[in-house]
Structure 1
Amino acid sequence: MTPKATLEPLDLDRDLALLHAWVTHPRSVYWEMQGASREDVTTEYARIVADPHHHAWLGRVDGEPAFLAETYDPAHSPLAELPEVRPGDLGMHVLVAPTDTPVAGFTRLVFRAVLDHCFADPAVRRVVVEPDVRNAKIAALNAAFGFVVARAVELPSKTAALSFCTRAAYDGPAAHLSPERLATAQRHLVAKAISEYAHERIVTPVPDADQWRLSAPDGGSSYTFAAQRLALEHWAVDEASLTRWVDGAPADLDAQRFVTEFAGLLGIPDALLPTYLEEIASTLASSCWKLAHSTATVAELLDADYQALEAAMTEGHPGFVANNGRIGYDLDDYAAYAPETGSAVRLEWLAARRSKARLSIGEGLSEARLYDGELDATTRAGFAATLRGLGLEPDDYLYVPVHPWQWRHQLAITFAPDLARRDLVHLGTGPDDYRAQQSIRTFFNTSRPDRHYVKTALSIQNMGFKRGLSPRYMGATPAINDWVHRLVEDDPTLKGCGFAVLRERAAIGYTGDAFHALEVRSPYQKMVAALWRESPVPLLSQGERLASMTSLLHRDARGGSLAGALIEASPMDATAWVRSYLHAYVRPVVHCLLAHELAFMPHGENLVLVLRDHVPVRALMKDVGEEVCVMDASIPVPEEVERIRADVPQDIRALALHTDVFDGFLRHLAAILGTDGVLPEADFWAEVRRCVEQHAEEHPELADRIAAYDLQRAEFKHSCLNRLQLLNTLEMVDIADQASSLQYAGTLVNPIARE
């Protein structure tokens, strides 16, 4: 049952002790009452209670005191002389009761209750807040609820970010779902669907005067648009030109209708069509949220830190049409856990009985060092005390980080017998703040950026998979990562490129449940697991910063390209900038293929770029354990690494470059730089050709492999991502045998073919 929040007038006689504890708590530093005595608090709130223009409220959640709120008339406050203040404004302050065991989504519940209280008065047109400009957490929360910063103002005790939320902007948790935003999101997604489905030869636009026309199979509707056809059959659709026609008249664009109109060509099984339409709807919802809140311009992102940049991304995977499914999240979950919200998340922790769990640890690490590095001594002592309080011996348990959604929606229910048997024990919330990455179930530690990423099991449906983690499959993950790390570190070419892998140092999974006793594999066996991956932050040198490679494809709400802005801000021209980027990215991928028969999954979210003076100078590969493959079964590998070896046909091996790099990422970047006039597309691909040829010239010892791979062949197989998802949106490939799942649509002309 959803918790209920209520507000009532503050009773100073009744509430003083509670009030004093809250406002003087170290976590309440921005309340500006640190060190205040009970008498000080009494004096301040007696003044507020007596002021007809200022009111104090005690907030309860399910009847228990949980927050403090204040409302005031800005015209009778230090804001009174500011020109932005208008009739109908209501000032607001809110303080959530400080706690060492925060509950995910609780602050948003409180914030919404206070705003509902404010707007319950029909005379209120805008709510005004003036938080300290240093308070980044409240700034993110304000933005999520529709507040817009007007400017910084100097108040008696702080520099404040004067911010306003209009009644129109605040319409509850679904305020972002407006007709105007939906129309923009629909236009973008239909344009993308036409572009990507045409690229995969699922639909076939035909010339129509100076435009293109795509007609639905039943003839009931058609679409006209302008587009440039670029290398690799990339369709750069002009979104503004896109028009839908029904019975000869213009009609609203609708991505779900588009899918149903072309369902026969798309090949979606009837039973899965509703699921795919749900993923389309979720993608539209995410786009609407981003249109409302992701307002940073590319100029503002040029020097943004790693996590600010990660949260600013407005597009999911560049190839997939339904790329923000996240089926299972409700509105509050989205606000709390979607990467674009930039929300702080604290992970839940479980103790798993050692005899029914497996912890795999990489070289140079031990169980004690792992937990010492991830959990402070106070937290570890608290976990041990919880176990002892239940009559359990801490040494009999391992600690497992858990996604808060996974705990509430899956583990507390589906694993109730395991919890009741004390095979699993809920230990509570950890103290560190994390942020979800674009990969949705991976978290970056913002409290301690030097600590590991944490990747958690998350049983939501997103982009072709339930996002669980298999304890069985992950058992070898640290050993695989160590082996790949040694290979990369010992290779002079890779070292010369600055290429490195972010190792997955430890993996843990619980297998004591009823589901693991079954022979049949199922998502239920992937619900209690996690891994720890190295942070890139300790690898930075002076003057360097980080950016996910996917950010190079980002456009802001005005259409500005971040890649174009980086080039303009750098000391290099576009050609030199692209050359540096390809040396950091493409050259290592090529070398790993030719020197080691080693393939990664080098898409945008799996690469972290290191930038210096806005130029990519090296790349860090992540998600190694699930994605890496040695493609020649005759190459010896250690027994514990055997899982990554496969006998991949020779004509398929080169797709690790042609499909995963050229088609999966570079065609999108080439299109952005070309259509924006930054670098002609032909010049971009000439630089890619140069990068590959230069590597070949410098490695004559690899001549046989270079000939076998034939990276500059005239054509290569056209492996299609959307075809995979459309065929089975619930599980589009077999992770253990991905090559056999591939879907092809003829061949593509190689943009770096020999001239």
Structure 2
Amino acid sequence: MNLMNPNDPLDLSVEPLRPADHTGLLHSWLSTPRARFWGMVDHSPAQVRAYLDAVAASEHENGRIGLRDGVPLVYVETYDPARLLPAGVLHPEPGDLGMHLLIAPPDGPTEHGLTAAVLAGVVRWCFENRGAARIVVEPDERNSAVLAKNAAAGFRVLRTVELPEGSGTKRAVLSICTRADFAASPLGDRRQRKELRGGAGADDATAERAHLGAPVAPTSHLRADVAERAHRHLIAKALAELSHERVLAPEALGDDRFALAVPGTDVRYEFRARVLPLEHWLVDPASIRRLEDGAPTALDVQTLVLEQQEPLGIPDELLSTYLEELASTFAARCATLDEARRGERPSAEGLLTADLPDVEAAMTEGHPGFLANNGRIGFSLPDYRAYAPEQGRRTRLQWVAVHAGRSTLSLGKGLDEAAHARWSLSSEERDSFADRLAGRGLDPSDYHLLPLHPWQAEHRLPITFAPDIARGDLVPLGSGGDEMQPQQSLRTFFNRTRSGAPYVKVALAIQNMGFLRGLSPQYMRDTPAINDWLAALVDGDPEFAGGGFRVLRERAALGYTGDIYHRTPTTNPHRKMLAALWRESPVPLLEPGERAFTMAALLHRDHDGTALASTMIRASVLSAEGWVEQYLRAYLRPLVHALLAHDVVVMPHGENLILRVREQQVVGAFLKDIGEEMAVLGHRPLPVAMERVRAVVPGQDKALSIFTDVFDGVLRHLAGILDADGLLPADHFWRVVAGVLDGYEADHPDLARGIAGDVDLRAGTFAHSCLNRLQLRNTLQMVDLGDQASSLLFAGDMANPVARTSVPA
């Protein structure tokens, strides 16, 4: 096998297409299976000749044959997209040049890197010899190999479009590449790429945001009509969740009417609501009125919080920070409402066939319980448009080489450094980054490759870690090739270029929902081993398999520890700014006919108020009761088994579960994000490296992992949605939950109260743990991640909706 570096210029000569001379050659190329996406595999030589004659005669197309050492290697077509693409597909710009590429089939051993080198050479030729300012391509969406190569050359996907092809159409991935895109890409010419020392990552990130474009009026979404809807929605949530947590105490007026007074004033809020089991408030947003001296006034969620500061218990020194997080949450709500007005947000009906990343981008609510759930302090408006999950944009991570002797790389079972590199990076990225290091006289084997969020690369890498770059412990490498989409967790990315490639979770030093979103290299050192342990436990227990329950392992963790901040006497946020995790993707694990999406989607209502869960139930063949029971068998029952049979608890909120769905029914689930949110609550033997996850607690505290995280954190909201939509009354919903617990107890009578016999999930009450109270108390750090249990806040006891005394025998 010959090795070829795609960054080294390929010596190609180019000659014009001559149909009479080239028909036989191109027919032999086009008739091979590898050229099937050209749609001419079955064409005769005469048909190929007619096609080439049309290209040669066209004023808007051009064909070329590229030769290496006089031997034909590639056929290149260029065209005017404004003339040949259907109207409305592309917004044309001066200097646009369309391009099609066909590489000769190999007549011997495959040359590693040849396709990448040819693509790089042709892109360079289009810019330098054809005068292109922007290259346009539209490959078939099924052509994953070409899509990956295009990404490595800097092409950015705009959208998927329907284009005419032969007698039918094709779904094409419309993509563009500018000179700057190509120069910054893994296949870009190092002669064009400027030196990346001390902040090229920032330059690339700025170019990425600039490409997205800004609306003519960047704050056009902040209009009075949109703002009124956003304020009304957030105030309804504030009244509901803060009343649920018993922070606010509205007065019942009768006939489902309530009033909330502002202490020491003549201001009161009036609204209609129903209170369901678990003190879940269904507040009617349209009914909310703010009255001052009896006269209606404008609604403003920040004003409500300021007026209720004393009962909310927000410290004076943190009030402005919480109000800023509310402002950011309000702004995000306005943005999605304005997009919906323009027809740019998907409906619940449209999500019935959407894939995982499209469903992820459709979510707008954030955490269902927290009021200020989209704080994102540190993001500018362009940052929001580029990186907010609900914007659904693709971006490219920035990469930095970190000296192996000043960093920690932890790998799970079956993964060595070479396998990790193949899993986490494309071949073009690996070759390019090795070439960039070697070009500076550095040995690539002395470094690990660390991805960074583009925001982190711009704001933190060249400033906070400037001395580390100067001494060569950190070497900025610029943009990766794969296009990535941010997920609901904000700092986790889904790979849109390479199907099945891992999720990447990176550090992000912005303030969001009670934390600075860093990653601790020290804490993550044991993460792959913890994931392997839990995955083995799940895989080895038939109860989990019966429910279609699996673990998405975090198989690799890398953190930089060579900075000055790791030498200070006490821990600090700066120690958590350069780190990453790689987690398995669910896509390769799906069965035929299945799709996957985040469980948070079950609590999603679209801009018209239509719930996805309700829409799925109506589209399925199951009754509402049957649908909920099947969902609970995939979600609740495995979590109950983990607790009762193994003393294992996780953080199973909506973002941490990926559901497997077939025919609009939940048939299984993947658990993810285990490293920081898993505990063993008993004395079972553990590897020494895992002792940090042990937390021996009494039975009533063990049960809170179900009561608080599942019943209160997820099922309460789903029950409210189905009740409000008239599909399943809430008390009936909880009878279904009780029935699933009864089924588990019947199948495992020896485990009904756990290993130690001290867990009672059917107790009459449980301690009411409150989430907003944590954020209101300290919006900078809600809990101590090293001792989460002692950080919790409670508001008395809550009646258990599945208590034995309330469930008929």
Question: What TM-score, normalized by structure 1, do the two folds share?
Answer: 0.81
Change over 3 Å in CA distance of 1:681–1:531 after alignment to 2? same
> How far is the alpha carbon of 1:641 from its aligned partner?
1.3
Q: Could you tell me whether the CA contact under 8 Å between 2:392 and 2:486 is conserved in 1? A: yes
**Are residues 1:746 and 2:796 paired?**
yes
Residue 448 of structure 1 corresponds to which residue in structure 2? 498
One-letter amino acid of the counterpart of residue 207, structure 2: F
> How far is the alpha carbon of 1:37 from its aligned partner?
11
Match of 1:549 among 589, 599, 610: 599
Residue 26 of structure 2 corresponds to which residue in structure 1? none
Match of 1:427 among 477, 496, 501: 477
- Partner of 1:302, secondary structure, is helix
Residue 104 of structure 1 corresponds to which residue in structure 2? 205
Match of 2:751 among 666, 680, 702: 702
> How far is the alpha carbon of 1:44 from its aligned partner?
10
Structure 2 Cα separation of the partners of residues 562 and 296 of structure 1? 11
5 Å-filtered alignment, 1:143-542, equals 170-210=215-255, 211-294=257-340, 295-542=345-592
- Partner of 1:413, secondary structure, is helix
Structure 2 Cα separation of the partners of residues 180 and 578 of structure 1? 37
Change over 3 Å in CA distance of 1:428–1:708 after alignment to 2? same
One-letter amino acid of the counterpart of residue 706, structure 2: L
Residue deviations 1:101-121, cap 9 Å, x none?
263353552564xxxxxxxxx
Structure 1 Cα separation of the partners of residues 787 and 177 of structure 2? 52
Change over 3 Å in CA distance of 1:215–1:353 after alignment to 2? same
- Partner of 1:624, secondary structure, is coil
- Partner of 1:722, secondary structure, is helix
One-letter amino acid of the counterpart of residue 645, structure 2: A
Indicate the percent of aligned positions where both proteins have the same amino acid: 50
Structure 2 Cα separation of the partners of residues 546 and 69 of structure 1? 34
Residue deviations 1:332-361, cap 9 Å, x none?
111110011111111111111011000000
One-letter amino acid of the counterpart of residue 656, structure 1: S
> How far is the alpha carbon of 1:308 from its aligned partner?
0.6
Change over 3 Å in CA distance of 1:550–1:489 after alignment to 2? same
- Partner of 1:512, secondary structure, is coil
Q: Could you tell me whether the CA contact under 8 Å between 1:69 and 1:94 is conserved in 2? A: yes
One-letter amino acid of the counterpart of residue 650, structure 2: F
- Partner of 2:460, secondary structure, is helix
Residue 156 of structure 1 corresponds to which residue in structure 2? none
Residue 705 of structure 2 corresponds to which residue in structure 1? 656
Residue 124 of structure 2 corresponds to which residue in structure 1? none
Q: Could you tell me whether the CA contact under 8 Å between 2:491 and 2:506 is conserved in 1? A: yes
Residue 598 of structure 1 corresponds to which residue in structure 2? 648
Change over 3 Å in CA distance of 1:354–1:692 after alignment to 2? same
5 Å-filtered alignment, 1:542-581, equals 542-581=592-631
> How far is the alpha carbon of 1:493 from its aligned partner?
0.7
Higher mean alpha-carbon deviation, 606-615 vs 211-220, is at 211-220
Residue 678 of structure 1 corresponds to which residue in structure 2? 727
One-letter amino acid of the counterpart of residue 670, structure 1: A
RMSD (CA atoms): 2.7
Structure 1 Cα separation of the partners of residues 473 and 92 of structure 2? 50
> How far is the alpha carbon of 1:96 from its aligned partner?
3.9
Structure 2 Cα separation of the partners of residues 749 and 552 of structure 1? 24
Structure 1 Cα separation of the partners of residues 694 and 92 of structure 2? 68
Structure 1 unaligned regions, length at least 5: 1-28, 47-53, 60-64, 71-92, 113-144, 146-169
> How far is the alpha carbon of 1:214 from its aligned partner?
0.4
Q: Could you tell me whether the CA contact under 8 Å between 1:96 and 1:107 is conserved in 2? A: no
Change over 3 Å in CA distance of 1:45–1:661 after alignment to 2? closer
**Count of residue pairs brought into register by the alignment:** 637
> How far is the alpha carbon of 1:594 from its aligned partner?
0.2
- Partner of 1:611, secondary structure, is strand
Match of 2:766 among 708, 716, 720: 716
Structure 1 Cα separation of the partners of residues 362 and 622 of structure 2? 25
> How far is the alpha carbon of 1:251 from its aligned partner?
0.7
Structure 1 Cα separation of the partners of residues 78 and 546 of structure 2? 62
Q: Could you tell me whether the CA contact under 8 Å between 1:480 and 1:641 is conserved in 2? A: yes
One-letter amino acid of the counterpart of residue 194, structure 1: L
Q: Could you tell me whether the CA contact under 8 Å between 2:63 and 2:78 is conserved in 1? A: no
Structure 2 Cα separation of the partners of residues 616 and 288 of structure 1? 32
Question: What TM-score, normalized by structure 2, do the two folds share?
Answer: 0.76
One-letter amino acid of the counterpart of residue 210, structure 2: L
- Partner of 2:281, secondary structure, is strand
Residue deviations 1:8-34, cap 9 Å, x none?
xxxxxxxxxxxxxxxxxxxxx9xx867
One-letter amino acid of the counterpart of residue 321, structure 2: T
Structure 1 Cα separation of the partners of residues 182 and 798 of structure 2? 58
Q: Could you tell me whether the CA contact under 8 Å between 1:104 and 1:336 is conserved in 2? A: no
Structure 1 Cα separation of the partners of residues 502 and 558 of structure 2? 14
Q: Could you tell me whether the CA contact under 8 Å between 1:733 and 1:741 is conserved in 2? A: yes
One-letter amino acid of the counterpart of residue 767, structure 2: K
Residue deviations 1:280-300, cap 9 Å, x none?
000000001111225211111
One-letter amino acid of the counterpart of residue 433, structure 1: E
Change over 3 Å in CA distance of 1:94–1:437 after alignment to 2? closer
Structure 1 Cα separation of the partners of residues 329 and 600 of structure 2? 17
5 Å-filtered alignment, 1:624-635, equals 624-632=674-682, 634-635=683-684
Higher mean alpha-carbon deviation, 694-703 vs 576-585, is at 694-703
Structure 2 Cα separation of the partners of residues 752 and 252 of structure 1? 41
> How far is the alpha carbon of 1:653 from its aligned partner?
0.9
Structure 2 Cα separation of the partners of residues 672 and 506 of structure 1? 38
Structure 2 Cα separation of the partners of residues 480 and 368 of structure 1? 22
One-letter amino acid of the counterpart of residue 635, structure 1: R
Q: Could you tell me whether the CA contact under 8 Å between 1:611 and 1:617 is conserved in 2? A: yes
